[in-house]
A and B are shown apart, each in its own frame.
Chain A
Amino acid sequence: MPTDAAEARRAGGAGAPGGLRRGFPAGRAALVTYLMAGYPDRERSLAALRAAAAAGADVVEIGVPFSDPLADGPVIQQAAEEARRAAGGPFGLAETIALAAEFLGEEGCDGPPVALMTYLNPMLRLGLAETARRAVAAGVSGFIVPDMPFDAAGMWLEAAEGLDTVLLAAPTSTPERLARIGAESSGFVYCVSSLGVTGERSELSEELAGYVRRVKAATDLPVAVGFGVGTPDQACAVARVADGVVVGSAIVRLQEDAAAVAAFVGSLAEAVRGARQRCP
């Protein structure tokens, strides 16, 4: 059963009008794009974010550079390392929130809602309450924290009032766990498409449709699928069964060049928008 607090969170917080849910349009799947803050440097990461938003991203995830990214594949891991190196000083959660504030300031409230993807320790370091306060002030809508065990998420969920916290479901999650993830998540539920770290896969799991159906049965939130989606064709296939498609590594790979990001995100957006009719 969802708790009252979870119910309140799902209604959307004051700091983020409509929350992440606003990024999921009726009638078609949403395109969720992941970009690494500060990669290859601060300016170009900002340019890439703008390019992705203009080319049709419905929700934007901004990754926080971290040295020990347990859930990320080589592309994102290396981008995080490069971002930290390029900054020449600290570039972590605080700097990423500042970057998000700048991006959101330009996009206004018409732009796609923003979720930060970070690991738990940078949040603890900045302070959970301080993290939430700064994120709300920046206009950030939510957080995705892959190493936050949700049995231990209580402290953060309390601090995160006004912010969505997207929980992750895995193909190996038991029905009991899916029910809790569905009830406690807010904004959307993130389905990790296959076991392992982020990165493109040549083939998506055949059981994807059934897995997404199981997650959808556990929640009334939108259900987005990520980890391994890297081409417009794959995005299209996922968009037919899920409410959202998350593309990360394939975009981060192009992040040095805003024009390339624009073109690629444009092709993904087109594929996702046309998916309910047919896949190319």
Chain B
Amino acid sequence: MPALAALASGFREAWADPAFRGELDALLRDYVGRPTPLYMARRLAAETGLAHVLLKREDLAHTGAHKVNNTLGQCLLAHRMGKRRVIAETGAGQHGVATATTAALLGLECSVFMGVEDIRRQALNVYKMRLLGAEVVPVSDGAGTLANAVTAALRHWVERVEDTFYVLGSALGPHPYPLIVRELQSVIGEEILQQLAERGMTVRDVDAVAACVGGGSNAIGTFHPFLREVPVGERPLLVGAEAGGEGVDTPRHGASMTRGEPGVLHGHYSYLLQDEAGNPLEAHSISAGLDYPGVGPEHAYLRDAGLVRYEPVTDAEALEAFALLCRTEGIIPAVESSHALALLPRLAEELGPRATVVVTVSGRGDKDIDVVREAGLGAD
């Protein structure tokens, strides 16, 4: 598609332009609030049986999640490419809120496609998007979740490529999106490396780095600088947590790495949950941000190359980790991020009590309060 070719060259030029990078960096600092802290969570470490747990606090970024790193970059690019209108898809609503936010900042018109089921689950974020001046377009196809919203947004984009920029929410979709999103999210891992150094630590002091994987944007942003800058022998174990839902042996999960087969969806070839006829299956997760039946293509490569390990985490395990972080550190994490936190006890078992683990807390949990209340947390 010519629009993708234009996007690829537009991004390449912008990324090489010091003026563009300067504007992005200034906004990341003054508007988003970067760098986000790398916080030493002592009580959580003690509870999970690890020596040190360091939390990369993306929940403290403006709008409450890492998604804003990506939308700021893409909206700046849209502006630079002369588009007056942006569209986005959203599952948890975080990407929609982030897009609506940065579109407002830059004076761009904004429409966000969202499945009707997600609109129900994420009412607060829907309301925020409207306050921020965005139009929320309900998508009732299929299960009414993220995959359907991506399909609808892509279909809409083909009709309006002339004046519209598609702000894609994760490290997936047709080239160059996985690349653009990875570059924009790599700020997470770059800061981790720098912040370790500022603490007088080296990467050798870190035994594992964990992040949750929906489409894979916060995970690729966390891992990529380690893969790029740290030699294999010194690299910590990199682990992605994917949605295990009600268990990978049930039909209700979103574990495309563990249970998917190679396939094409939304313009990329990766692991995909699909039926015998090649139709993508409906994914399930307690977190709207993780129930996508596929995963970004670079993660499929990293898995096959043995460079990153991926493990499913069930809804119940994620809820337990959610509650644990609330009680030990006074931090209410997103349910997505709780999937990564749920890896901590497992890593303690594997690596022993002297181990140090870095976890990306991709977002804060305000948006999930209804979901966890419905699940019975904090009832007594």
Q: Which residues of A approach B to under 8 Å, CB–CB? A: 66-68, 70-71, 77, 84, 90-95, 119-126, 147, 149, 170, 172-174, 177, 195-197
Q: Interface segment, B28-36, B210-218, B273-281, B328-336?
A: B273-281
4 extra interface residue pairs, beta carbon distance < 8 Å, beyond A122-B278, A196-B155: A84-B279, A93-B277, A121-B265, A121-B272
| CB nearest neighbor in A for B148 | A68
Q: Is B313 at the interface (CB under 8 A from chain A)?
A: no
CB-defined A-B contacts under 8 Å, sample of 27:
A66-B279, A68-B147, A68-B151, A68-B279, A70-B151, A84-B279, A91-B277, A92-B276, A92-B277, A92-B278, A92-B279, A93-B277, A119-B278, A121-B274, A122-B277, A122-B278, A122-B279, A125-B276, A126-B278, A149-B174, A149-B267, A172-B2, A172-B3, A177-B2, A195-B160, A195-B161, A195-B162
Cα distance A170–B266 when bound, in Å? 19
Cα distance A91–B159 when bound, in Å? 29
Q: Is B119 at the interface (CB under 8 A from chain A)?
A: no
| CB nearest neighbor in B for A171 | B2
Q: B258-298 toward A: CB 8 Å interface, digit per residue (1/0)? A: 00011111110000101111111000000000000000000
CB distance from B225 to the nearest CB of A (A): 29
Count of inter-chain pairs, beta carbons less than 8 A: 84
Among B169-196, those with CB < 8 Å from A are: 174
Cα distance A212–B125 when bound, in Å? 46
The answer to whether B278 touches A124 (Cβ under 8 A) is: yes
The answer to whether A125 touches B155 (Cβ under 8 A) is: no
Cα distance A197–B152 when bound, in Å? 11
Q: Identify A174's interface contact among B2, B158, B174, CB under 8 A.
A: B2
Given contacts A147-B267, A195-B159, A195-B161, contact A125 B2 (CB under 8 A): no
The answer to whether A67 touches B162 (Cβ under 8 A) is: no
Q: Is B142 at the interface (CB under 8 A from chain A)?
A: yes
The answer to whether A125 touches B161 (Cβ under 8 A) is: no
| CB nearest neighbor in B for A125 | B278
Q: Which residues of B approach A to under 8 Å, CB–CB? A: 1-3, 141-142, 147-148, 151, 154-155, 158-162, 174, 261-267, 272, 274-280
What's the dominant secondary structure at chain A's contact region?
A: loop
Given contacts A121-B265, A125-B263, A172-B3, contact A90 B280 (CB under 8 A): no
CB distance from A37 to the nearest CB of B (A): 12
Contacts of B147 in A (CB 8 A): 68
The answer to whether A197 touches B278 (Cβ under 8 A) is: no
Q: Identify B141's interface contact among A77, A120, A122, A174, CB under 8 A.
A: A77
What's the dominant secondary structure at chain B's contact region?
A: mixed
The answer to whether B264 touches A121 (Cβ under 8 A) is: yes
CB distance from A124 to the nearest CB of B (A): 6
Q: Identify A68's interface contact among B2, B3, B160, B280, CB under 8 A.
A: B280
| CB nearest neighbor in B for A123 | B278
Cα distance A124–B262 when bound, in Å? 9
Which A-B residue pairs are the 7 nearest by beta carbons?
A92-B277, A125-B278, A196-B159, A122-B278, A67-B279, A121-B278, A172-B2
Cα distance A229–B174 when bound, in Å? 29
Cα distance A122–B265 when bound, in Å? 10
The answer to whether A67 touches B280 (Cβ under 8 A) is: yes
Cα distance A99–B136 when bound, in Å? 41
The answer to whether B2 touches A173 (Cβ under 8 A) is: yes
Contacts of B266 in A (CB 8 A): 68, 70
The answer to whether A125 touches B158 (Cβ under 8 A) is: no
Contacts of A172 in B (CB 8 A): 1-3, 161
The answer to whether B159 touches A70 (Cβ under 8 A) is: no
The answer to whether A93 touches B161 (Cβ under 8 A) is: no
The answer to whether A124 touches B159 (Cβ under 8 A) is: no
Contacts of B265 in A (CB 8 A): 68, 121
Contacts of A177 in B (CB 8 A): 2
The answer to whether A124 touches B277 (Cβ under 8 A) is: no
Contacts of A90 in B (CB 8 A): 275-277
CB distance from B74 to the nearest CB of A (A): 21
Cα distance A70–B159 when bound, in Å? 12
| CB nearest neighbor in B for A120 | B264
The answer to whether B155 touches A197 (Cβ under 8 A) is: yes
Contacts of B278 in A (CB 8 A): 66, 92-93, 119, 121-126
Contacts of B151 in A (CB 8 A): 68, 70
Cα distance A131–B252 when bound, in Å? 30
Contacts of A95 in B (CB 8 A): 277
The answer to whether B280 touches A196 (Cβ under 8 A) is: no
CB distance from B155 to the nearest CB of A (A): 5
**Interface centre among A91, A119, A125, by most B CB within 10 Å?**
A125
The answer to whether A70 touches B279 (Cβ under 8 A) is: no
Contacts of A121 in B (CB 8 A): 263-265, 272, 274, 278-280
| CB nearest neighbor in A for B154 | A70
Contacts of A174 in B (CB 8 A): 2
Q: Identify A197's interface contact among B159, B261, B279, CB under 8 A.
A: B159
CB distance from A156 to the nearest CB of B (A): 12
Contacts of B155 in A (CB 8 A): 70-71, 196-197
Cα distance A249–B148 when bound, in Å? 21
CB distance from A250 to the nearest CB of B (A): 19
Contacts of B274 in A (CB 8 A): 121, 125
Contacts of A147 in B (CB 8 A): 264, 267
Cα distance A71–B272 when bound, in Å? 20
Cα distance A71–B151 when bound, in Å? 9
| CB nearest neighbor in B for A177 | B2
CB distance from A41 to the nearest CB of B (A): 17
The answer to whether B263 touches A67 (Cβ under 8 A) is: no
Contacts of B263 in A (CB 8 A): 121, 124-125
